[in-house]
Amino acid sequence: MNHHPIRFDLDYSLAMSETIGARGGLSQRELEAEAERVSDAVSATITRADGGELGFFRSASDRRIVREIEALLPSLPPHREVIVLGIGGSSLGARALIEALRGPHALHEPKEGSPRIHFPDNSDPFVLSALLHRLDPRETLLIAASKSGGTIETAASFLVARDVFRRAIGEKGLRERTLIVTDPQEGALRALAQKEGLRALPIPSNIGGRFSVLTAMGLLPGALLGLDLDSLLDGADWMRKLSETRDIRQNPAALFAALHHLHHTRHGRPIHVLMPYADALRPFAAWFVQLWAESLGKRRGRGGEALEIGPTPLPAVGATDQHAQVQLFMEGPRDKLITFVEVEAPSQDLVVPREEGAFEYLAGLGMKEILDAERKGTSLALASDGRPNLTVRVSRLDEVHLGALFFFFEAATAFAGELYGIDAFDQPGVEKGKRLASAILGRPGFDEERGEIQAMEGRSNQTHALRFIRA
């Protein structure tokens, strides 16, 4: 196994009152007073992991899935395109992983041995129909990714795509070009895979969708794009070791959780912005938003008590959002804690050429240098007005650092769940909408929900709706 150096900083000075003043900062004393609770949050998470409840916590040290994927690759038919059908945690993580390391989707060039990958994650037929129209099934792989194996959106897209493939390349071709990623035993996708003899990779049953990026959910697409899976998991495992430390000063994920929890619950800052200064990390910010929101927004506490609590995560990207959201961050309500993500080494750079009489102060500067100045300027401007922010800094964007970043935010979410007193690993609020949608679609077994819908519609009956028509 190769040993790649890692550097990861969590710079939180501009979130502390000693630096930015008491109006926006947290005092060192306040943070220290929290140390024991944070340590308990780490212990509680580890106890749940040891009890087999939180599979994500130790999964990076188990490499059997990597070997399984490596063994699978040579048996796949030739392919220049890959379609991943999944939604939520079954799409966002893989996309964040691929785009961070292979660049934004639009730039992917299919070349020998490296296909182009697509994540049509919505039931809006716009993207999927364009893809199915454009791609040739004879050179495409179809991945159906769903932990539960029963998600309506994924099931519908999969059935549509299967039909198109079947017509183009027949039942045998479809079977050869289909891969399933799902629960090892449960669910309709697993049953279909067994019935039809489809190739299927497991997601451990104790790992939920939004914590699954480092399972086959992210690893299979990653392997197809030629990523170094062992390095990715090494980075995660390195961060896992740090995350087991009870001392808040040695455990960056616990510190991140504590800072956010305190800024929210004691200082009225429920809006948590993640703002990488890197286009390649745009989907990473979207992945974080799902992780933080779906894990921490809960009606009830662990003991069933009414809470209705949770931070609101917000994605942004620098420098683009300096021209969109930063005005609000600088002068709007003081309800935000902003995390910048800095990647030190640029994957590539462009030098601004000298042009007589035009922007001469920029001549000879690298565009990355300009981006860094924008980030630093924004961070300091916020701090100068007592608006707290922190910076997560990695030396480069490669597999090992990305693995560390994924695990850092996953562990921070687990610890934050403990601090908020909620269960970060369920999503009862999503279930209700899914049940009502099933009822609307006429799925058998949802009569009670159908009754509920009728009662609600009877009450509303469009009494407060406006309609405008021009014939």
Give the binding-site size for ligand PA5 (rule: CB under 6 A): 14
| Token digits of residue 72 | 């699978």
Check if 298 is active-site.
no
DSSP 361-388: GGTT-BHHHHHHHHHHHHHHHHHHTT--
Q: Output 25 or 93, the one with its CB closest to ligand PA5.
A: 93
Position 151 contacts ligand PA5 (CB under 6 A): yes
- Minimum CB–partner distance for residue 426 and ligand PA5 (Å): 9
How remote is the C-alpha of 157 from its chain's centroid?
Answer: 21
Q: Output 190 or 240, the one with its CB closest to ligand PA5.
A: 190
Burial class of 186 by CB neighbour count within 10 A (0 to 12, 13 to 18, 19+): middle
Q: How far apart are CA 63 and CA 97, in angstroms?
A: 18
Q: Dihedral, CA atoms, 260, 264, 267, 273, nearest 10 degrees?
A: 70
Among 17, 45, 140, 154, which residue sits at the site for ligand PA5 (rule: CB under 6 A)? 154
Check if 294 is active-site.
yes
Neighbouring residues of 324: CB distance < 8 A, sequence distance ≥ 6 = 316
Position 89 contacts ligand PA5 (CB under 6 A): yes
Check if 323 is active-site.
yes
Catalytic residue among 294, 342, 399, 410: 294
Q: How far apart are CA 314 and CA 333, in angstroms?
A: 14
- Minimum CB–partner distance for residue 147 and ligand PA5 (Å): 4
Scan residues 184-213 and list those touching ligand PA5 (CB under 6 A). Answer: 208-210
> Given the rule CB under 6 A, which of 98-106, 144-152, 322-330, 367-375 is the region that contacts ligand PA5?
144-152
Q: Output 217 or 259, the one with its CB closest to ligand PA5.
A: 217
In the complex, which residue's CB is closest to ligand PA5?
Answer: 209
> Given the rule CB under 6 A, which of 75-83, 145-153, 165-173, 252-260 is the region that contacts ligand PA5?
145-153
Catalytic residue among 79, 105, 376, 434: 434
Amino acid residing at 92 = L
Q: How far apart are CA 219 and CA 232, in angstroms?
A: 9
How remote is the C-alpha of 469 from its chain's centroid?
Answer: 41
Indicate the DSSP class of residue 86.
Answer: -
Amino acid residing at 392 = V
Which residues of the shown chain bind ligand PA5 in the complex (CB under 6 A)?
Answer: 87-90, 146-148, 151, 154, 208-210, 294, 427
Active site residues: 294, 323, 434
